[in-house]
Amino acid sequence: MVSSVATTDFSSEIGFNKFPYLVVKIPEARNLAYFSENCSQFTPYVKVSVGSRSYSTSAQVVSDAVYWDETFEISGDSQKPLICCLMDRDEFDGDIMLAGLAIPRELIKQFIEETTLWIRLRNFTQGLNTTASFEESQAIRPFCDELKVANPEECIEPIICLKLTYYGLDCLKEYNAEITDYESAVKSGELFTQYTLTITRRDGYAWKIKFRYSQLDNIRKSLILQFPELKKLCFPRKTFSLLSIVSLKSQFDEGLLEKRKSEMEKFLNYVLKCRYHERSQEFSEFLQMPAGVN
């Protein structure tokens, strides 16, 4: 039987309700003297929002550059754009919006891998009091290619860095399998190798199972009965070595086990990529796939 070394209370750990969601990283902004030269105390921060959900970085007293390095997760299936605003903290007269940017949802959905954007800020309307709605504000400008900065090191205009990653519902079906460890074990006088398999979903959620070669081989044979096309896949044959009886960790067996590990990983990743676990309950149970998302 496959033994799990991961928490299996998936309902609380996976967070189904947050999908789809957007990860917004705000590392820094540069060349802000353009905004600060008329301020007695320039205290910039960034406010990001999608619909009614909004988040703000810390406010820092600076003159030219600021480093936030803060990350926000904005969940929900909103079709509204991502609004990003550079703000100036003013405790007496109310915070001031210095620049605003709207990135459309259609573009955001293309950022399935982390995408770094350096964006010009100088051309935006400035000095709008934040009593106005962000989305109705004249300071908000739609994102366009002209605002992108290819080389921030050479740019002298005010610029901000955003790192965006979109996790749609499809990422719940994207997995990677890696055999991260193996060890010798004895059960009922039988010497065998036990492998640790780490399965990672594209959004970073991961769990581990332990298995024997014979268990995966039996699953493979069962899959072939259902899906004969899998017979063509490479899979390591069961071999024995007299040396393995003495030491599974010998140099000879290390090479044998590494080769077997590599071939089993290729097999597992192929069947996961083709989503055979969605069509085989036995295979899904072997992998201990989270219920409801596989």
CB-CB contact of 206 with 183 (8 Å) = no
pLDDT band of residue 11 (cuts 50, 70, 90) is very low
| pLDDT reported for residue 68 | 97
Question: Where a domain ends, among 142, 167, 192?
Answer: 167
Question: Where a domain ends, among 118, 138, 167?
Answer: 167
The least confident of 12-21, 67-76, 110-119 is 12-21
Total tally of structural domains belonging to the chain: 2
Is the pLDDT confidence value at 216 over 90?
yes
57 and 35 share a domain? Answer: yes
Distance of CA 237 to the CA centre of its chain: 35
30 and 141 share a domain? Answer: yes
Q: What's the pLDDT tens digit per position in 158-185? A: 999 999 999 887 776 789 999 999 998 8
Range of the domain at 152: 20-167
Q: What percent of the chain has pLDDT over 70?
A: 80
HSE (side-chain half, CA atoms, 13 Å) at 176: 7
- Give the three-class secondary structure for 169: helix
Q: Tell me the pairing of strands 21-30 and 159-167.
A: antiparallel
CA–CA gap between residue 192 and residue 215 (Å, rounded): 12
132 and 28 share a domain? Answer: yes
30 and 73 share a domain? Answer: yes
Q: Identify the residue with better confidence: 170 or 289.
A: 289
| pLDDT reported for residue 240 | 52
80 and 215 share a domain? Answer: no
CA–CA gap between residue 7 and residue 10 (Å, rounded): 7
Q: Identify the residue with better confidence: 93 or 155.
A: 155
The least confident of 81-90, 147-156, 247-256, 284-293 is 247-256
pLDDT winner (highest mean) among 8-17, 148-157, 236-245: 148-157
The helix or strand, by DSSP H or E, that contains position 207, with its residue range, turns out to be strand 206-212
Output the CA torsion sign for 128, 46, 122, 133: negative
| pLDDT reported for residue 5 | 35
Q: Identify the residue with better confidence: 155 or 34.
A: 155
> What CATH code is carried by the domain that includes residue 201?
3.30.1520.10
Backbone φ and ψ of 28, nearest 5° = -165, 170
Mean pLDDT score of the chain: 82
Is the pLDDT confidence value at 9 over 50?
no
pLDDT band of residue 196 (cuts 50, 70, 90) is very high
92 and 187 share a domain? Answer: no
CB-CB contact of 46 with 86 (8 Å) = yes
Q: Is residue 8 part of a domain?
A: yes
Mean pLDDT confidence for 112-140: 64
- Give the three-class secondary structure for 20: coil
Is the pLDDT confidence value at 123 over 80?
no
Best CA proximity match to 82, nearest among 119, 47, 120: 47
Q: Facing residues of 217 across strands?
A: none
Q: Is residue 294 part of a domain?
A: no
Question: Where a domain ends, among 108, 140, 167?
Answer: 167
40 and 138 share a domain? Answer: yes
pLDDT band of residue 79 (cuts 50, 70, 90) is confident
34 and 160 share a domain? Answer: yes
For residue 35, give the amino acid letter.
F
- Give the three-class secondary structure for 151: coil
CA–CA gap between residue 216 and residue 214 (Å, rounded): 6
The least confident of 16-20, 57-61, 173-177 is 16-20
Q: Is residue 292 part of a domain?
A: no
Where b means 16+ CB within 10 Å and e means fewer, 142-170 reads: ebeeebebeebeeeeebbbbbebbbbbee
| pLDDT reported for residue 191 | 86
| pLDDT reported for residue 88 | 92
Output the CA torsion sign for 208, 210, 212, 218: negative
